Structure formats: structure tokens, C-alpha cells
Chains A and B, each alone.
Chain A
Amino acid sequence: MSEEHREPEGAGTSTLGNMVRDAAGALVFPLIAIVFALLIGAVIVLATGNNPAAAFGSLVVGAVGSSLAIGRTLLYATPLIFTGLAVAVAFRAGLFNIGGEGQVYIGAITAAGLGVALGFLGPLGTLVVLLACILTGFLWGAIPGFLKAYFGAHEVITTIMLNFVAINLATYLALEPLSGGGLVPGTATIDPAARIPYIGLGLGRTNYGFLLALLAAVAVYLLLWRTKRGFEIRAVGLSPGAANYAGMRLGLNTVLALAIGGALAALGGGVEVLGVYGKMTIPFAANLGFNGIGVALLGRNHPVGVVLGALLFGGLTSGAQEMQFSTDVPLDLTDVLLAVILLLVTATKLVELIVGKRARALAGTRLEGSL
């Protein structure tokens, strides 16, 4: 209702003071949400007859307690950074990309199929395969963009529908033409020389895909706030009328934002295959794309926030295993925690009620306006 008092959101400013203030403001809400989620989680743990301190203790130990634990956290976070970015870029153009799940499958099948064929090239093959993932994801993501820009088909519907197409298409390819014929259903295994190597340092299976994800976050930041294209995407997302007035092409930017999102999610799928599994097994890792939506929401559609959000998701997933191992708390508790965090992040009114308007003013959240 009130349009006057608006604090800055997100980033885009380079003066240090502004950046710190923006970052602090952007973090307030997610942090409050996490604290409340932990409180609610504690109640649930108590209700199941366990000790919250012990449960959360093992959760933390499992997430960051050792180099192996940290490695696991990074490993789980990696694909979520990609899929979170995929949502964030589209969101900046005013679009909801719900198609991350399918885009991950497109990237994964591209990587598995091409990786087997080009395995003899070694590291060069890795590079070619990753570029191919970007390309197929880009083209796949462009489809809903094109349908939106030229036929007015709502991207939420088309991206959801295309998930089914992508998942079934990739599953068919992995089980039929590209099947490895082994005991585990899925494609053949890629030559280890053409996979993404482990980082080492005692981080377990964490591979250079994590660094690639960080690089992708930097690239998205530069794209959005340092390039002409990003300027247009943000202008189109915030005010189509003003973007049109300034002579920007709405259709082109709609297509590109969704296509870039598709490329990012597909790259995430490719990195999963090349870095973790070495092949595309069926069923493939589920919910990477959907969890990316939560990561982007938590990270307020800012690349830095997306990385932090993915690390939190990864840490909770990793910690949950330890918690289940050393206490009687069910694995599902982490799902509950994540759900509560996301609910609180999106339900700004509720948090406002709990902690008052000041925090909201500081966070300057515009979520409710854009959802």
C-alpha cells in the first residue's frame, strides 16, 4: 500500500557502505526464519522424545564437524547452487522458472550420453560435454521463453509441463538407446579420465564442480549487474512499461532470461553426472530442480544469497544423516526444518507479526509484491 518508504534490496551498488547495508538487510529475514525454524524443530524433537541439544549437536557435527562432513555439505550444495541460480535469473526478469527439475535431467542425459562417447578425449572431453550441457539447457529453457514471448503462454504452466517431457525423455534415452546394459538401470559409465576430478583435501567426493558452481554465481552476478543484457533483464523484470519505453525488447529478454536459467540448471545436471555418479542412473537424483526454487527464495534471488541458501540446504541434508545415525530423530526432521524456513521466508506477514515492522523495513522485502 505505502510506496514511500522503501529500503534498498539486494545488490548492484558498489560503494562498500551500501553493499554492507544491503547485504545485512537482505540477510535479516532468512536469519530470523532459520532461528524460528530451529525453535520449532526443537519442539518437534522434544515431542518425539529426544533431546534437542543432542539432535542439533549431531546435525552441526554432520554438516561441518569434520573435513569429510564439510565435503558432504559442499557436495550436496553444488547442484542446488546451479538450480537456485536458474530460478534467480528468471525471477530478475519477472519470470517464475519452475522448470529446473526437467532442465537438470536434460543436462544430465546430455552429459551421460556425450560423456560416454567423448570419454577418450579426457579433460578436453569434460570441457566439451559441459559446454554441450549449457547449450542443450539453453535451448530447452528457451522453449517456454518463446511460448511466453510470442504466444503469451504463462511460463509457470509451460515450465511445469516441460518437466514431465524432459524427465520422461531423459529416462527413455537412458534406458533405451543409451543404456549401459549393466545391473543398475541407466547409461553406460563415463571414462574416469573425462570426469570432473575430486578436490581432495580430505573433502571426500567433493569435486571441482563446486568451484564451477561458485564461478557460475559470480558469472550471474556480473551478467545481472555489469552487462547491458543484465540491465535489460532487470529493467524488464521490474517494469515492463519502462523497459518498453526505453526501447528494450521485452520478448527477447524474456526468452534469454529463461534460456540462461535453463543453461544453468542443465549445467548443474551435467556436473552431477560428471562429478558424482559418472553415469545417469534411473531414477536420477530427484528434486534438485524443485529445491532450487527454495534456495532462490531463501537467497532472495541474489547470487550470493543463492550460494548461502544452497550451503544451508546442503548442510542440513548432510547433518541429517549424522543425526539419524547418532540419535533416534528421524531423517524427515530436516525436511520439516527446511519447510518451516521456507514458509517463514515467504510468509513475511507472519514474521512481521512476530518480530515487528522494523526488521521488515530493514529487510525491505518485496517478496509479497512479486509473488
Chain B
Amino acid sequence: METQKGHKHILSQAIREITEIFTGMGFTFVSGPEMTNDHDNFEVLNFPDDHPARDMQDTFYLKGGGLLRTHMSALQVGHMRESEPPIRVFAPGKVYRNEATDATHEAQFYQVEGMCIDTDITLEHLKGTLETLLKKYFDDENIVTRFRPGYFPFVEPGVELDMKYKGKWIELLGAGMIHPMVLTNGGIDSSEYSGFAFGMGIERLVMIKHDVGDVRKFHDGDLRFVTQF
């Protein structure tokens, strides 16, 4: 009879592809817990307590303390403490935001964080690294990117990155040069080292590449979605 192979979820496939590209650029895959705390998710990343910047990320708080990580940046400082420059790491993983779901918003989704710390790292390296990543992932040498000013408390300068893909500009991700206070929190001398960091939604990448219109399809367990890839 006709027997069939199963399908890997497209998110797994995307993470595998991203892993290949990052590994090729000398980045190591790292991971951390989904359940974390205010200290790792916010405080060490220069989100002061009771600061309006906290409103940028709706957080799931847990009874008895703790919270679900709202971004993969929650791994930044811990990793800095465990290692020494040069640091090149990327961290794909699940993050949580307490927002009503619709075609473009999910309460749980995947992000990949990238972080590079060394002497003489500049915004131009950030641009180069992201362009390489995008060109390879989308298999399109014509992709160009542009920065706009952005704001995230843990980077300074902070930027937003747009990508021109198939003739259209698409808003893609937030990034910047790691804030000196964050480097200090990670035990790294900010007068000697600089670094960049960026965080990108993986579903968003997949939606653009494979033309998926609804983010909820990734997490509903429906094989009519899964088996297409």
C-alpha cells in the first residue's frame, strides 16, 4: 500500500535552516528556561521597575512569583556571565506575550535572538550579519535592508530593521548595540568590548517566506497545515 512519510513542523524546519546559517557565521546555539523572573527578563536588561518601557511587552506573571519569558533576550546576561568575548550566540525559543490573539498576534510564538560581543563590533556588522542571514534564509541575493531608529531599553543605539523582499519593504525586527549597563551586568567591560543583539520572530519569517496569512495556524495542531510543508 501507499505508505507516507510524516512532516516536520515548518517551525522545526525553519529553526534547522537558521541554525545552519548561524553556525556558518560562527554562532553557537544556546537555550534557557521558558519560566524565568523579573530580574532576568527585565531588570538586568535595563528595564527599570515601573518604567513605561515595561508596557511594550505584555507579560504573563505566575502565581507565587516568576513569569514567562517575553523575549529571548532574557538569556543575554546569563550567557555573558558564563563565557568570555568573543561571544557569538543565537537562541531560538518559545516566548510568551499576554495579548489577545488574531491573525498576526499569538500569546506564544518563537523568536531567535542573536548576540555578538567582541572588540570593535559596530552597527555595520549588525547590518552585514542580518543581511547574510536573510539572503540565505530566503535564498534571495537581491534582499537589501535598512535601519530605522528604534527603542529597546537593552540596546543603545536601538534600531528597527526593514527588508526589501520581492520589491516590497517589510518591517522585520528590532536590534541595536548592547547597552553598556547590560554588558556591565554580564560582567563585560564596556570600555573594551562592544556588541550587537537582535530579536526576530520565527513565525514572521516563515509567514513571509511561505506566504502564510495567519500566525495561529502554527500552534493549533492541525495537520492540514503541518503536512503542507
The answer to whether A and B interact is no
